[in-house]
Amino acid sequence: MVRPIAWHLIMKKFLAGIALLLAACGSGHKHMVIREEFPGKKLRIEYRGDVVFNAAGSAIRSMQPGASVHYELNGASFLAKADREGHILYACNGKQPAAVLRGREKLFMQRAIADMVRLRGSKGVK
């Protein structure tokens, strides 16, 4: 006697496998980490999703919704994160995210972006 194929069980296993695969991949954003270390300097940049710099390489022009970039230099940190609509918020050293940074935080952000552009390649490229 031939047993009938239980398609519903096969489909359940297939869907469970897809769900596990998606969970393992995280948000579906590209992920990249850049490290640079030598005496007196420890730098780490982590990208999740697409980040586009302006042509001058001095600012973040746009980010994919949900994307982020985290920059750490000798213990100091900078974070840029896009919300679901792609609006970018910035934060330094774990402070509350804001749409605009001022003073020393703005200077640190500018240095972070300059390092990101230098280590990532061409200006304005994702």
Distance of alpha carbon 39 from alpha carbon 36, whole angstroms: 10
Supply the pLDDT for residue 56. Answer: 87
- Strand order in 41-48's β-sheet? 31-38, 41-48, 68-73, 76-82, 88-92
Mean pLDDT of 96-113: 93
Residue 122 has phi, psi (to 5 degrees) of -60, 140
pLDDT band at 120 (very low <50, low <70, confident <90, very high): confident
* Interior/surface letters 96-110, b for 16+ CB within 10 angstroms, e for the rest: eeeeebeeebeebbe
- The answer to whether the beta carbons of residues 92 and 100 sit under 8 Å apart is no
Residue ranges of domains in the chain: 31-120
pLDDT band at 21 (very low <50, low <70, confident <90, very high): very low
What confidence tens digit (pLDDT) does each residue in 74-94 have? Answer: 999 999 999 999 899 999 999
pLDDT band at 7 (very low <50, low <70, confident <90, very high): low
pLDDT band at 20 (very low <50, low <70, confident <90, very high): very low
Mean pLDDT of 52-62: 90
Distance of alpha carbon 104 from alpha carbon 107, whole angstroms: 5
